[in-house]
Structure 1
Amino acid sequence: MYLTARDITKRWTDRNVLDHIDLTIDQNDRIGLVGANGCGKSTLLQVLAGTESCDGQIERMKGLTMHYLPQDPVFSRETVLEEMKAHAAAQPEAIEEFEISSILSRLGLKDQPIHQLSGGQRKRLALAKALITRCQLLLLDEPTNHLDAEMIEWLENRLRKENQAVLMVTHDRWFLDRTVNQVLELDEGRLYRHDGGYESYLENKAARQEAKQLAAHKLDRLYKQELEWVRAGVQARSTKSRSRLDRFEELRKQRTKVQERSLKLVPMASRLGKKSLAWQDVAFAWPDGPELFHDVSYQMKKQERLGFIGPNGCGKSTLFKVLAGRLKPVKGFVETGETVKTGWFGQGELTDDLSQTVISYIEKTAQTIPWDGQEFTAAQMLEKFLIPRSMQHLPLGRLSGGERRRVYLLKVLMEAPNVLFLDEPTNDLDLVTLDILEDYLDGFPGIVLTVSHDRYFMDRVCDSVFVFQPDGTLRQYMGGYTEYREREKEEKEERKQEQNRRSAQRPRLTKQGLTYMEKKELAALPQQMEELQAAIDSLNEQMGSPMAFEELQVLTEKRDVLENELAQAESRWLELEEKQEGRE
């Protein structure tokens, strides 16, 4: 057994965030840790990593090696490469420089001063360090944040191949389903274990919730009985009466908690007229920078859900800002209807003044709001977003990153937009909030545009997706992320079949009318072309694996040489064929 934790308890000011938890991690375990924002997932990782104190007992296997990836990493060197080399030097076995370069390349990083890195790049650098660590146990806190879809797929494959135990916090549902063999759910300080991936977790949780619902019905009946007793005006003078009043108060708290956790959001939006949002021949480039995209045109339809997919740095968020009117295109134009009221849920937007209280931040938007035929206060709306009144007068800085994102999302929705721009909306949101948001969008009567690397979210929400192409254009695919990738595979297979068809249609070669040496050359050419094509295919396969940039350049040059030789061989083959046909 790698690690055993017994009776782990961690108390914050007002509650036990970890309440007498037992946990074991063994050699082949790949565990996903899920739960609501602020429930203590990161705290549990810190406790297991030994960076946070707790009550209870943790036993680690003698000689156990482990590495912890925090949400806010700290570095000790000046540049990216210096940081990676220093970490590699501390490993028990040598790590080749090409492996370091390969992982950095896969994660979209290059050697530069660390102080110049964005928050997302810093997280990717910390992940790169974790991936070159020679250890038995990895503790990863949100490893997929700030990764694009291709990076996430690469990380999935790497974690599956590595002989390491893993415990990770993640809200990426596809990633959970493809990488873990059990899910641990942290709920009100208690830990619940589910064998299998995300789908199994949902099934098990549904069964547990059904049992809770039956208990809630019993609780509700008992509460009503006790409420009648209290209203009857019985004086709480005796010990028996006082204890019954105390029990009633406890029932009231439990009942309120059940009601809060079962709340659902009712969509609201301002009226959207016939003219909504359209853009024509849009292009954008930063001053002295390359063109990010060009010739982007589309006319949005009412209640359409549109997604944008592309690698990090391709310009997705920039295009979003252009479409939302936050940036001006260098070419083309964006038309916005008079009734359009945009809501912007972006990355890193809630960072200006974290000293203001949660309730004051929301009341700047509205103190009361009509919702589902009723009038709700800002405090009541916060409760709907799982922010209890006990937390509403805390400074925003006291909330977890996910809780702040949830408050920010509430602020956006309270503005009643009819066109929603969601830029990486799933970052730092827990599974409960994601379910609420997706259900909300199902009934949202306006337009939704989203950039997201959460493949499950894209499948769940989008009618179609626009995919950034290498030449700076965008191509539309109907459906979500899965449909796009299936269509991409079909097109690749179609191209391969077309190449095979053309090869099969080549005329049969004859030897009549050719010199002896030409006949010999003609006979050898088909085999030579097959060998060249096989070598090119082999290089293409190698180039699809992680490697250093310099190694990739060498393989690219080799492929260029082989492709030139193949073109010359095909040209010579056609020349000899034409000569033969002319002689016949």
Structure 2
Amino acid sequence: MKTLSVENLSQTMGDKTLFDQISFKIQTPDRIGLIGLNGTGKTTLLNCLVDEHYYQTKTITHPRDYQISYLQQNPQLDQSLSVLEAVVQGKEALYATVRQYEQTLKAYGQNPEDSRIADHFFKLQSQMDQVDGWELQSQVETILTKLGIVDFQQQLAQLSGGQQRLVALAQVLLAPADLLILDEPTNHLDEAAIKWLATFLNNYAGAIIFVTHDRYFLNQVANRIWEIDHQKLQEYQGNYEAYVDQKAQNEATLAATQQHQRNLYRQELKWMQAGVQARGTKQNARVDRFHELSQQVQQAAADDQRELTIDIKQQRLGKDVFRLEEAGLEIGGKDLLIDFSLQINAGEHIGVIGGNGVGKSSFLNVLAQRQALSQGKLTVGQTVRIGYYTQHVEGMAPDQRVINYLEAVGQNVENSSGYRLSASQLLEQFLFSSRQQGAFIRDLSGGQQRRLYLLAILIQQPNVLLLDEPTNNLDIQTMTILEDYLNNFRGCVVAVSHDRYFLDKITSNLLVFQGHGQVKRYWGSYSEYLEIAHQEKAKIAKADKTSKSSPATTASKPKKLTYQEQLELKELEPKIEHLEEEQEQLKQRMATEGQDYQKLIADQKELEALEQTLDQVSERWLELSER
């Protein structure tokens, strides 16, 4: 078992200390979920594990042959490469052979008459046989397909930022490593890909540390939770559910301790105010005790004030919000909406789900009147005041100061009690200190910029919120407060998200984008929809099996069965059932193989043989049944 050890690691950013003298160990079975407020140093801690320039003293040790694979929040890829070439960027001879083969294959396809290219191509085919390159290629294509990338020869420059990040994820998952580091791995993944990734990581051979906002994913994968808070690293054993339970117990204990401290402080304050002179050792000790308690109480009060709050007055909204009538939307020759009609009323909280590229963000652009319909009509209610939280931060200049940015958006916003709040007060509520308020936006972490952008949307006091992947890069505490705010939001919410936990908490019904312009409305939670979709899929699969094995009628009169054939027919039915059960079990096993690709290939061969046997037995059963 290989171990990475960290002793007394400290890191500052400007004049701010992110973490101070923290120590920990990472071992092979660990699946560590790293959480904490945006700006507390989660990404910096991950960077420290791979780059010694990030920490001030050499405090990290591991074996010499220790390998680390790291998915950064904003990975940099060579835009001239194809998808497959980018994934196999390792220095090993195996990777180099696969890269050369892919490049030569492309050249051979373009110039099949060139004998020099042809000779090199056939030579590389032999090399692929020798180094098991076909297996690596199969692994790459399997991972990319599971992540939703199907065109392996497409150039990276032609992909969106989200798609390029999926390629980077495939790259780190494929690379052999003792420690896999993932910064927000579920961004841009749909539900099926997130489920596959959780299974993959649970079967991963090395240790894993990851930052994520997806609490269901965190719950499924993590067996340890690390929280950065007050410049320290607090560890919790178990998954996210265990963390929440332990955190609640700790908070209760802390609250009782703080109450006890406040009571002691009041008693000591009375004693000090009584004018008792500090004469003798006992009185001196008591004065020291008073100052110590004073500092502890002030620190506890400061900690209480660090809780993020959203208290902004909401505007009145009439009954009618949006009405779509026979709407059609076509972009780039692709139908995203076909003859779609929808009525959205005040108070509705709607989740928008579906695979990547089916038109979810374009649908929000239509509601925000940024995208015109190809046909049909959109009617927007007269009292509608839209706040649109887009996937990418808008109108935020890197060289602009935080306070100036917010003042330009709005000032003197009223809270629910009618009290006017300045931009500085609003920033304090969103956990931006006075120092951070004067900082440049470029100096904020990605998560802090998203939190600032959220505040900028809310202070415009919208009564309709359009949210496009709002959980990306937000910390869990901010998301929890946002969910509570949305649950009490009297206006209308339309949220695009792949985060099942978030949608389960804030929506009551769904718009399911199924592709090819088709949209279905579902009344219920995301989890309920997934369960029903799974059941329907199982029914369809069962019906397909039944239809394949049902006897077909024939015009000619069949010969009667012999006694031996009657016995054979009787034995064939349970045999078919047994083979089908084996087939299903094998498919389920293959779905959870993780990165054990040799076993996956062996199982694929076994499945093909099993299906061939099943076809033969089914044909024999059909023949005897007809007679």
The alignment partner of 2:531 has SS state of: helix
Aligned twin of 2:189: 147
Cα distance in structure 1, aligned partners of 2:9 and 2:183: 19
Q: Distance in 1 between matches of 2:275 and 2:398?
A: 47
Per the alignment, do residues 114 and 263 of structure 1 end up closer, same or farther by CA in structure 2, a change over 3 Å counting?
A: closer
The residue that corresponds to 1:84 in the other structure is 87
Which of 147, 155, 176 is 1:107 aligned to? 147
CA offsets 1:241-297 (integer angstroms, 9 cap, x no match):
99999869856852452232235323532111122222122221114x221232322
Q: Equivalent residue of 2:345, what SS?
A: coil
What's 2:106 paired with?
Answer: none
CA–CA separation in structure 1 for the residues paired with 2:141 and 2:540: 33
User: What secondary structure is seen at the aligned counterpart in 1 of 2:88?
Assistant: helix
Secondary structure at 1:55 match in 2: coil
Answering whether residue 433 of structure 2 is matched by residue 388 of structure 1, we say yes
Judging changes above 3 Å, is the alpha-carbon distance between structure 1 residues 226 and 118 closer, same or farther for their aligned structure 2 residues?
Answer: farther
1:344 to 372, 383, 388: 388
1:408 is paired with a residue of what secondary structure? helix
Match of 2:239 among 197, 213, 221: 197
Q: Is 1:402 paired with 2:447? A: yes
CA contact (8 A) 2:323 2:344 kept: yes
Aligned: 1:331 with 2:378:
no
- Partners in 1 of 2:253 and 2:586 — Cα distance? 54
Specify the alignment match of 2:410 in structure 1. Answer: 366
- 1:170 Cα deviation after fit: 1.2
Choose from 414, 432, 438 the match for 2:477.
432
CA deviation after TM superposition for structure 1 residue 119, in Å? 2.4
Deviation at 1:410, TM superposition (A): 0.7
1:353 corresponds to 2:412: no
The 2-side partners of 1:392 and 1:359 are apart by 5
Determine which of 487, 497, 511 is the counterpart of 1:442: 487
Report deviation, 1:207: 1.5
Q: Conserved in 2, the CA contact under 8 Å of 1:4 and 1:59? A: yes
| CA distance, structure 1, for counterparts of residue 460 and residue 307 of structure 2 | 24
Q: Which residues of 2 match residues 67-466 of structure 1 at below 5 A? A: 67-76=69-78, 78-79=80-81, 80-87=83-90, 89=92, 96-109=136-149, 110=151, 111-218=153-260, 220=262, 250=295, 254-266=299-311, 268-287=313-332, 289-350=333-394, 352-373=396-417, 374-466=419-511
User: Which residue identity is paired with 1:271?
Assistant: R
Q: Distance in 2 between the 1:314 and 1:187 partners? A: 40
Deviations 1:96-124 (A, max 9, x none): 21222222222233333333433222321
Give, in whole Å, the separation in 1 of the partners of 2:456 and 2:59. 42
Q: Matched residues in 2 for 1:481 and 1:9: separation?
A: 42
Query: CA offset at residue 516 of structure 1?
Result: 7.7
1:343 match: secondary structure? strand
Question: Which residue identity lines up with residue 213 of structure 1 in the other structure?
Answer: A
Contact 2:312 2:413 in 1 (8 A): no
Q: How far did residue 370 of structure 1 move?
A: 1.0
Could you tell me whether the CA contact under 8 Å between 1:309 and 1:468 is conserved in 2?
Answer: yes
Inter-CA distance 498–11: structure 2 relative to 1 (3 Å threshold): closer
RMSD: 4.3
Equivalent AA in structure 2 for residue 103 of structure 1: I
Q: CA deviation at 1:13?
A: 2.2
Give the TM-score of the pair, scaled to structure 2: 0.78
Please give the per-residue CA displacement for 1:215-236, whole angstroms capped at 9, x wherever unaligned: 44345556767888999999xx
Give the match for residue 6 of structure 2: 5
Once residues 411 and 29 of structure 1 are traced to their aligned partners in structure 2, the CA distance between those partners, rounded to angstroms, is: 39
Q: Which amino acid aligns with 2:27?
A: D
SS of the residue aligned with 2:409? coil
Instruction: Tell me if structure 1 keeps the 8 A contact 2:321–2:380.
Output: yes
| CA spacing shift, 1:494–1:253, aligned 2, 3 Å | same
Pairs aligned (count): 557
Q: Which runs of 5+ in 1 are unaligned?
A: 235-239
1:384: how far off? Answer: 0.9
Structure 1 CA distance, aligned partners of 2:339 and 2:234? 51
Q: Is the 8 A contact 1:73 1:123 kept in 2?
A: yes
CA contact (8 A) 2:224 2:236 kept: yes
Q: CA deviation at 1:19?
A: 0.9
CA deviation map 1:494-517 (0-9, x unaligned):
44566688799979x999954589
- Separation in structure 2 between the aligned mates of residue 91 and residue 58 of structure 1, nearest angstrom: 31
Q: Secondary structure at the match of 1:276?
A: strand
Does residue 27 of the first structure (1) align with residue 28 of the second (2)?
A: yes
Secondary structure of 1:259 counterpart: helix
Contact 2:308 2:481 in 1 (8 A): no
Equivalents in 2 of 1:140, 1:464: separation in Å?
32
Q: Is contact 1:277–1:335 with CA below 8 Å preserved after alignment?
A: yes
Aligned 8 A contact 1:267 1:443 in 2: no
What is the aligned-residue identity percentage? 34
For residues 567 and 371 of structure 2, the distance between their equivalents in structure 1, rounded to whole angstroms, comes to 62
CA deviation profile, 1:496-541 (whole Å, cap 9, x unmatched):
566688799979x99995458999999999979969x969978995
> Cα–Cα, structure 1 residues 359 and 512, in superposed 2: closer, same or farther, change >3 Å?
closer
Change (3 A) 1:13 1:504: closer
Instruction: Indicate the larger mover: 352-361 or 16-25.
Output: 352-361
Residues 376, 90 of structure 1: CA spacing in aligned structure 2 closer, same or farther, 3 A cutoff?
Answer: farther
- Compared CA separation, residues 493 and 248, structure 1 to 2 (3 A): closer
Q: Are residue 58 (structure 1) and residue 100 (structure 2) matched? A: no
Please give the TM-score of this superposition, normalised by the length of structure 1: 0.83
State yes or no: 1:16 paired with 2:17: yes
Query: Secondary structure at 2:355's aligned position in 1?
Result: coil
Between stretches 382-391 and 108-117, larger displacement belongs to: 108-117
Say if 2:42 is the partner of 1:41.
yes
1:463/1:478 contact within 8 Å kept: yes
1:265 to 1:523, Cα distance in 2 relative to 1, 3 A: same
Q: Is the 8 A contact 2:258 2:297 kept in 1?
A: no
Shift in Å, 1:472 = 2.6
Give the conservation status (yes or no) of the 8 Å contact 2:162–2:188: yes
Q: Which moved more, 1:103-112 or 1:521-530?
A: 521-530
Letter in 2 for 1:469: Q
The residue aligned with 1:237 is none
Look up the SS of the partner of 1:37 in the other structure.
coil
Q: State the distance in 1 between where 2:67 and 2:492 align.
A: 50
Judge conservation of contact 1:270–1:416 (CA < 8 Å) in 2. yes
Larger mean Cα displacement after TM superposition, 29-38 or 535-544: 535-544
